A and B are shown apart, each in its own frame.
Chain A
């Protein structure tokens, strides 16, 4: 079983919710990324999403857009991301790590070449912001051959019929986008999310995570009640952007994740 399956299975067994944390590879610089991944784990992250910087991040809000621009200025692309995962795996064999980004990075490397390199580096799955299941066939097959999960997203605008089709194809976990908008937005309606996630969970064979708009322990707690876990991205990316002293930055990151962890765990 994959790291993702093991970890999410453990959490379900303990009746705990998952904390999924996102940072962009190469932001603020290439040296900080791997220590930051360890800092996320130290703070209590269950799953790591590592953002692959892309020149045209269509679904991102300002925080992740800017982080992507900084990372690109540092020369970071998909190859560097895989190197970082390899480095991370030297000291961490158990925390599941998924890459998140845009399809063009994968196409440029080639679907099959990517799947092989990603599996070898220690990647567990892939979230593609701009790849609906209808277009995902070749990539999904390539990833399956190497035991990697392709994680699909659902949105408030996804119709029930369409949701059923996506749920059927889901592997690893399903990612429910909590709001109509871009990452880091603040128009969250917790009750509506709860109702929708309940419907998805009733059908899903894999855990359902919720993300977009979760900023702090309070919003993490409020949403963790309804899902199998929460994803936090822009709030952590803001911390990465604000840090000047690397050691302080890592300490801040760990503290922030620990606070989110407490929020997630404190739900009844």
Chain B
């Protein structure tokens, strides 16, 4: 790779026109402190050792790169490999980030952590690390999401966390994030806010990306080891985009590797009922960063729709917006129905129950793998397991569990 073509690191938290730090003044000092601590921690061998040990012995890393043989035969094209983040402790990629941020909270001496959650996976992952480190933990969750993700709500309670229902706005992930920001502004002295995705004010997008990059680092090494070469295409679902950036980032300077993020097209991009800002949004500022957003002409954030709570968010991590602008990654979208079909297919053909979020990435593979050559390799990030979704799916099937 020519040095001149290398991907440029963000400058003061800006990814091109995106990113930055758009928050109430009360939080600026906490962000400065967090950025300084993070910048020193990543260079500290002791911190890296601690992180590495937790990733191996607590999360269960490395996660396997699994060849989906029947699925590959079914599609009749590229070979499909699944990066099994669903096998992590707590059942999704989210824990890669919460482990790292909890270690930072411990270093800052903050006894309390808060989080926002949509599908509940990040809430569970936060409650988990809080339990392990003896931190007080409160999780904000939209009242609407509490209804559709009840197993995760109960898991958080079992882990000793308090789940606070959010009844403002659309009662989903974005409103939970507003409420978490309000909590943080009030309790900033003793509280660390563990944002669960690559959005929010600097340093969150680059910090969460770095913690999630373990996915791509492993996948890259596994590809080199198993095939002696890099994969052709990476595919991951994008809500805020943390699992996608985690897979993409270590390949960013490998120009031959195509990167595809898959947003939630909900009931269709033309229906307006979707959550696909990279496909159908405009640039704006929400939750501390500039990025593509689903918004009205006068800048009001729109209510989004997706069958999967974890993708039901009107914004997206600023680095994805930048990767779209510079053409390094491409962003497709899958509808609720396409995701559901892919969800069922993986169950039936591979014996794996995927999260509805990850099923959006699988849906893209279902419609594209067949057009690729059999010697090509697709790596799909299977970002989480779908146990939490069985109630939603059963309801669609008219079954009451």
Q: Which residue numbers of A lie inside 8 Å of B, CB to CB?
A: 54-61, 65, 69, 72, 77-79, 102-109, 129-132, 134-135, 152-159, 162, 166, 177, 180-182, 185, 187
Contacts and interface: CB of A to CB of B under 8 A. Distances in A.
A132 B23 contact: yes
A136 B185 CA distance: 21
Contacts of B187: 180
A99 to B, nearest CB: 13
Contact of B178 (A56, A108, A132): A56
Contacts of A158: 25, 28-29
18 contacts: A55-B300, A56-B287, A58-B182, A59-B182, A72-B300, A78-B298, A78-B299, A107-B283, A108-B282, A108-B295, A130-B22, A152-B25, A153-B24, A157-B29, A162-B29, A177-B24, A177-B26, A180-B187
Contacts of B134: none
Given A59-B185, A180-B185, A107 B285 contact: yes
A153 B29 CA distance: 13
B181 interface: yes
Contacts, number: 122
A103 B21 CA distance: 12
B196 interface: no
Interface residues of B, number: 40
Given A58-B178, A181-B185, A182-B186, A154 B22 contact: no
A159 B27 CA distance: 11
Contact of A162 (B28, B174, B299): B28
Contacts of B104: none
B397 interface: no
A109 B187 CA distance: 34
A157 B30 contact: yes
Contacts of B299: 54, 77-78, 104-109
A158 B26 CA distance: 7
Contacts of A177: 24-26
Given A130-B22, A130-B24, A132-B25, A104 B186 contact: no
A105 B298 contact: yes
A185 to B, nearest CB: 7
Contacts of B174: 56
A129 B24 contact: yes
Interface string B214-239: 00000000000000000000000000
A185 B24 CA distance: 15
Nearest to B30: A157
B332 interface: no
Name the residue among A60, A69, A108 with the largest chain B CB count within 10 angstroms: A108
B26 A156 contact: yes
Given A77-B299, A153-B25, A158-B29, A56 B169 contact: yes
A187 B185 CA distance: 13
